[in-house]
Structure 1
């Protein structure tokens, strides 16, 4: 099926594998909690300067991915949000070898997968993600102390590997109470918010000298028999 363009838009021609990889990077950071704010279970979409930008957050982590577009209507820009439910449903319909075309219009996505057309409606985006990003990208000294990170949040970084399998994530801490910032080339940026103890974690979980229990390993001698 061919998309007939009747409005200003931007186009992305890709494969099912690559489109799934693109969406998976950000979907891992969306909320699935029905009691959360609606914008935390939305995919926020922008087109500007020939780039597609996708953003998801549940406030514990935030991911931004950028994708160059093949063609855009001259001067075309847009910003809107779509339900993550629609995107997850679309991802399930994709196979790796599918030929896919995505048309991004002012307030909707048109996605062709083979002969099938999927229309995903958009709505106004209310997520102030730039404000959060600016706060964590402002220059600051690297901490010498420690940050408390929920290991489950670090697992959300794994889908980024599918975009660039041979490129490592660069990780930087932002201040003594700021986020952990991970970047993959100029395609992916992820913020991981630290935990705050507030007296809830025991000394056993957070010893004041966390390496003491490991020093004895340095004194052990091992012989291969």
Structure 2
């Protein structure tokens, strides 16, 4: 299927599995409660400085993903929001596809492969995600208390919620190189051991100041 572009836009060429993984990582942080504010049930899309940014938040967590665009027209930038529910439904149609083109127009998202195309109109993004980011992403001379954790291990805690639906998960960090200990009520405890940086890890993937590459987002607006 040929994608015809007639207005300023940005393009991302990606596989179906890659776009599914990217969106799943962010959409997990969007609210699924129909009583919540609309902005919390949306995927917020931004094109700026040659990057695509995807943001979701339900107040309790916020996820930001960014990926370099394959191509974009000169000085093109935009920001808008689309329904997280619609995106969840859409991305399943592209799983396993060898090639997917994502076109981001001023207020429209178009996702296409060889045999199907979906166009989703957007609306004004009302989520103050950059303001929220600024509250917590504060430059520090020497960040402390960091541990390395495999995200897949944290995901294992989720099913335990059924044991005590009304109780929060309480987490404690035992030192910079210690374990993460979490309890759910009086009947469930989990220990998540950190990844030990024993010199065998990829140093490029573990910068000394991991937050520094994100500070530029605070100064854009």
Q: TM-score range by the shorter chain?
A: 0.5 to 0.7
TM-score, normalization: structure 1? 0.63
Q: Relative contact order, CA 8 A, sep 6+: which one is greater?
A: 1
Query: Partner of 2:112 in structure 1?
Result: 112
List structure 1 runs of 4+ shifted beyond 6 angstroms. none
Query: Partner of 2:9 in structure 1?
Result: 9
Query: Partner of 1:43 in structure 2?
Result: 43
CA distance in structure 2 between the partners assigned to 1:77 and 1:42 by the alignment: 19
CA distance in structure 1 between the partners assigned to 2:155 and 2:105 by the alignment: 33
Helix, strand or coil: the match of 1:13?
A: strand
Gaps of 5+ in 2: 146-153, 159-183, 188-221
Query: Partner of 1:166 in structure 2?
Result: none
Query: Partner of 2:97 in structure 1?
Result: 97
RMSD: 3.0
CA distance in structure 2 between the partners assigned to 1:12 and 1:139 by the alignment: 31
CA distance in structure 1 between the partners assigned to 2:131 and 2:144 by the alignment: 21
TM-score, normalization: structure 2? 0.64
Q: Deviations over 1:154-202 (max 9, x none)?
A: 439x9xxxxxxxxxxxxxxxxxxxxxxxxxxxxxxxxxxxxxxxxxx98
Structure having the higher Rg: 1
CA distance in structure 1 between the partners assigned to 2:94 and 2:115 by the alignment: 12
Query: Partner of 1:127 in structure 2?
Result: 127
Count of aligned residue pairs for this structure pair: 158
